[in-house]
Amino acid sequence: MTWQLKLFMAPLAGITNRVFRSLVREYGADYTCTEMVSVQGVIHRNRKTFSLLDLQKEEKAGIQLFGRNPEDFIKAFQVIEKKIKPQFIDINMGCPVPKIVKGGMGAALLREPHLAEKIVKTLVGEVKIPVSVKIRLGWDPEEKTGEEVALRCQEAGASWITVHGRTRDQFYSGNADWEGIAAIKKILEIPVVANGDVFSARDALDLSLTTGCRRIMVARGALGNPWIFEQIRRLEKGEEIFPPGKEEIMEAVKKHLEGLICLRGSEKRAVTEMRKHLGWYIKGFPGAREVRNNLVRMEKASEVQELLATYLAQVEKG
């Protein structure tokens, strides 16, 4: 079987800034996207919202927007296109977070298929770049509207649909329903991006085989593991894959940390933000908890890199 997968990095709140996007691109991700951005925040020129629109001129990436009023998406994009030139717009209809769904946004739109369709149709009619949509299988097991919403979004002009194989009530618990994704793929003519429970290269290929999708999205599986994309590529070719060694981990951490220092303009802020990532980089290693506890007290990049290098050398020695 010829795979030739297109690999997507999921937009993750507090994670997928331009530094992280650059890192996963380097390791083989084809598509990246900003974290979720409020159309209302853009319209009102909210400083924090604007900070999420951190695409560089040469970067080919999309922006993910969330909202409820179709016209707000147009107004927001009119503001955005004066600032940056995204490769595509992704509309979030899958976020399960209570503060989002209480406002009738994110996964709440799965309960209003007509409105979901209107949002896509309105935006597609006004912009010249692809518009995609991210959905879930439905609100809950009794209200699985994913197929209807996907069909309506296709009819409205969406270029592709990303399907997270869970319902809203699951949040991120349990197992993703890959067969549910396959069912949506079967009824659509536009491409479907399969998303859910890709934590290894083998998971990615199994997800593709189960769903028939040639577009695969990686989310939590890339945390502390940017080389998962490279490993998927290798496995596609039938090549053997190995876990990253000390040098590879240190190289990724160095690029990540140095990038954050440039982005934040403060070494202390960057190191503080990097702590969660460092925890993911060494997750599952012996003695990782003690290392994480030591990292909390550090404010300098040199201290972090020295501690990590010493620790990883010890791990390699066994």
Long-range contacts of 169-172 (CB under 8 A, 24+ apart): 169/96, 169/139, 169/140, 169/141, 170/96, 171/96, 172/96, 172/220
Q: Is 265 exposed, middle or buried (0-12, 13-18, 19+ CB in 10 A)?
A: exposed
101: amino acid identity, one letter: V
The residue whose two tokens read 């951490």 is 253
Give the whole-angstrom CA distance, residue 27 versus residue 300: 26
Q: Examine the residue annotation and report whether 95 is marked as an active-site residue of this protein.
A: yes
Q: Is 89 exposed, middle or buried (0-12, 13-18, 19+ CB in 10 A)?
A: buried
Q: Which residue has the tokens 């879930």?
A: 136
* Eight-class DSSP state of 141: T
Contacts of 178 (CB under 8 A, 6+ apart): 165, 194, 196, 197, 207, 210, 211
**Share of the chain residues as helix, strand and coil, in percent rounded to the nearest 5:** 50, 15, 35
The residue annotated as part of the active site, out of 33, 95, 153, 213, is: 95
Active site residues: 95
